[in-house]
Amino acid sequence: MNDILSATGAEVSIIPVMQGEGPMKIDESQLPDSLPILALRNAVLFPGTVYPITIGREKSIRLIEDAERNNTFIGAVPQNDLSVEDPRKDDLYGYGTVAKIVKTLEMPDGTITAILQGYHRFEVESIYDYEPYMIGRVRYLHDIVPENDVQTRMVAESLKEKASQIIRSSSFVPREAASALKGIENFEFLVNFIATTIEVENFIDKVELLQYGELSVRAMKLLSVLDTQVELQKIKHEINQKVKTEIDQQQREYYLNNQLKTIQEELGMDDVEEFAQLRARAEEKAWPPAVQEIFEKEISKLERYNPSSPDYSIQYNYIQFMLDLPWGEMSADNLDLKNAQKVLDEDHFGLDKVKERIIEYLAVLKLKGDMKSPILCLYGPPGVGKTSLGKSIARALGRKYVRIALGGVHDESEIRGHRKTYVGALPGRILNGINRAGTSNPVIVLDEVDKLSSDFKGDPSSALLEALDPEQNTAFHDNYLDIDYDLSNVLFITTANNIESIQPALKDRMEMINVSGYLAEEKLEIAKNHLIPKQLTEHGLAKGQLRFAKDTLSKIIEEYTRESGVRGLEKQIAKAARVTAKKIALGEKYPKTLKPDHLKEYLGLPTNSHDIQKGNEAPGVVTGLAWTAMGGEILFIESSVSKGKGVLSMTGNLGDVMKESAQIAYQYIKAHPEMAGLTYEEFMEKDIHVHVPEGAVPKDGPSAGITMVTSMVSAYRGQKVKSGIAMTGEMTLRGRVLPVGGIKEKILAAKRSGIHTIIISQENRKDVEDIKEIYIKGLTFVYVDTIQDVIDMAF
């Protein structure tokens, strides 16, 4: 038997050496009352067995040398706390075995191997000396051997059977031990031999066997320990078999990759330094413990991959994205309210409601120190500065600016990202934008949110619900990152032209702010302070090389543009700048100040002459006001009467709602022919045709109801309406006038067209009162409740 028992603290196997058939007996009178105590770690010495033990501690070596020299007995006692280097009585188990040294061997590593022969059990009563080693008083114990009856023989057979099973499955016990078991007839030696031979999971189970003096009890306890060990070995065997059958290509690659990694390390080609750099970056991150745990898991997975494997690059990119994301890294907000107001005014003229809302947010942030960012939706016609306002807000706050264009996006993964297992997987646009910004509190502009679409790949507007909900976006889940990310510090600003196409649930999560069109006076200021300097710079012109007279700008606004915003105005200014740049490049003479007379040469003929009110040119022509995504427009309704059978016909590319409005107007006049100056019989002898010009342009909506009934009455009467009048409002069959929307845009369209009187519903009075005085200056509003009020005012 070449395995050894360690008394140095190292856990090694313990194999007994048999000396004959039975345990060696000794007369108790030959044993001393006190014994030198040798503390054994991870070992138990039983009577009748011989052990080779490696001795490493100085006191133990001294004890062995003295005992061998004087040929004296020693006491081998198991140690309770294996970590104690210099044990005391409390660190020892209460029972041990008297032993004598058979032989000692010096090992190459400086330790001593002593072969001990066990004789008799004892109980430690006291330890009275610890130098140069422990010496204690002991009380010897007697073993009670049962009779060799049937029960004893059956227990012995069971012990041999269980022990043989364990020996066959163990890699620590030599196969010869199983053969030796078969030849043992002595019951006492069989129990002690098996107790010392078999390795068990719990060392204390072995130690406790020493305390039992009745061999039958010790045997039954040992049998219980063996049963437990057999079951544990079965479980281990099942696990090993299961693991073995699950070895597939991936596991094969894992082992090969480990070998490759070892070779790379030997050749100096390893990525250890790179992994260390990744971990160093991770230590600098202020991310939650759960994220740190996921990072460690993912980087450990990366270390197992072969660098040439496709999975390696996918995993590497994912870890890089985790590290690049700003986790709790926020830029400091500039809480100077006066400076914020100044920046907003510098960049944009007007837009007071939006500016006021941002200043309110900053004020609360300054007082409270922490606040969930609002979700603002700026809606209005194109060219009024919604998108550029987001950039201005970021500059005022001192935050990073990110713009995400949503027009035409129809895949949910564009918002939430793709799962990283897919080929070419990428994070969603929101987390990608935050990554570009480098801070977790940027201003993110979600441009054209009303132009999102959906198909079989999902609904991106639904994916935005989580991101734009202040109650949920503290744990936004991107499919690529697959970790909750806090978006509550992000200031989201969305823009839209037509809020009717925005999903209701999404609209409910946003604070809607109307950014309406500009007056001609406002456009003039925007052109002078923003558009002209910008275009001169972009076209390489000095400040003095091109100027615009005030009358020139007014003419461009009135005759060359037809819009609520200033995008078309900027294009006309850019065109004038290009013509000037060409003249300078060719060395031609040119006017340094553009006057109205020069516009025909620079911009061509006016394009907006048709957009002038012309409602009093003939009976049946009435001016209405309409709202479109491009802003407010004037709308002409024309009616013509002819002899017939009381038939109504409509043209002008009208939508269903507008056709219904015409039908309601016709039926109302039919029920009240006196309003048109006719009897019922006269009314039924006349056909009426209603036309809305610009037939190629689709038109729809209920707001032309009162305009249509006025146009029909004018045609039936043959009487023109007053000049300078426009109207908007929905009507009912009972002749009530209902309110409509888009009042501000319609007012701007009326002012552009030279209208001075507007007829609207009484219930729209609150909308007019909410508009700044500058927008309604020079206009007269007539508030009506019924169609009769409209007719009385119009004629």
- Reply yes or no on whether 372 is catalytic: no
**Beta strands at 112-129 and 95-106: parallel, antiparallel or unpaired:** antiparallel
- Reply yes or no on whether 236 is catalytic: no
| Pairwise CA distance, residues 787 & 767, whole Å | 20
Angstrom CA distances, 150 to 188, 190, 407, stand at: 16, 16, 92
The rounded Cα 308 to chain-centroid distance in angstroms is 30
List CB contacts of 630: < 8 A, sequence separation 6 or more.
Answer: 381, 382, 563, 564
Which position among 703, 714, 753, 761 bears the catalytic label? 703
Residue indicated by tokens 């941002």: 358
Q: Is the peptide bond between 132 and the residue preceding it cis, with omega within 30 degrees of 0?
A: yes
Do 580 and 587 form a contact (C-beta atoms < 8 A)? no
Which position among 355, 400, 555, 746 bears the catalytic label? 746
| Pairwise CA distance, residues 261 & 269, whole Å | 9
Short-list 699, 720, 697, 747, CA closest to 622: 720
| Pairwise CA distance, residues 551 & 532, whole Å | 15
Reading the block at residue 325, the tokens are 């994301």
| Pairwise CA distance, residues 210 & 80, whole Å | 14
- If one counts every other C-beta atom within 10 angstroms of the C-beta of residue 524, the result is 19
Short-list 107, 121, 90, 75, CA closest to 10: 107
| Pairwise CA distance, residues 601 & 43, whole Å | 109
Residue indicated by tokens 């305390």: 211
Residue type at 477 in one-letter notation: H
Short-list 358, 342, 335, CA closest to 513: 358
DSSP 424: T
Run of H or E including 484: strand 484-485
Angstrom CA distances, 96 to 15, 38, 528, 530, 749, stand at: 18, 10, 105, 99, 108
Residue type at 182 in one-letter notation: K
HEC per residue, 31-57: CCCEEEEEEECCCCCCCCCEEEEEECC
Taking every pair of Cα atoms in the chain, the longest distance, rounded to a whole number of angstroms, is 149
Do 791 and 674 form a contact (C-beta atoms < 8 A)? no
Rounded to the nearest 10°, the torsion over CA 464, 465, 466, 468 is: 80
| Pairwise CA distance, residues 673 & 665, whole Å | 12
Residue type at 673 in one-letter notation: P
**Alpha-carbon radius of gyration of the chain:** 49
Do 739 and 621 form a contact (C-beta atoms < 8 A)? no
Helices (H) and strands (E) in the chain, counts: 29, 25
**Beta strands at 593-594 and 547-548: parallel, antiparallel or unpaired:** parallel
Question: Phi-psi category of 344—alpha, beta or left, where left has phi over 0 and alpha has psi -120 to 50?
Answer: alpha
| Pairwise CA distance, residues 774 & 755, whole Å | 16
Question: Phi-psi category of 427—alpha, beta or left, where left has phi over 0 and alpha has psi -120 to 50?
Answer: beta
**Phi and psi at residue 483, in whole multiples of 5°?**
-140, 140
| Pairwise CA distance, residues 531 & 220, whole Å | 100
Residues that are catalytic: 703, 746
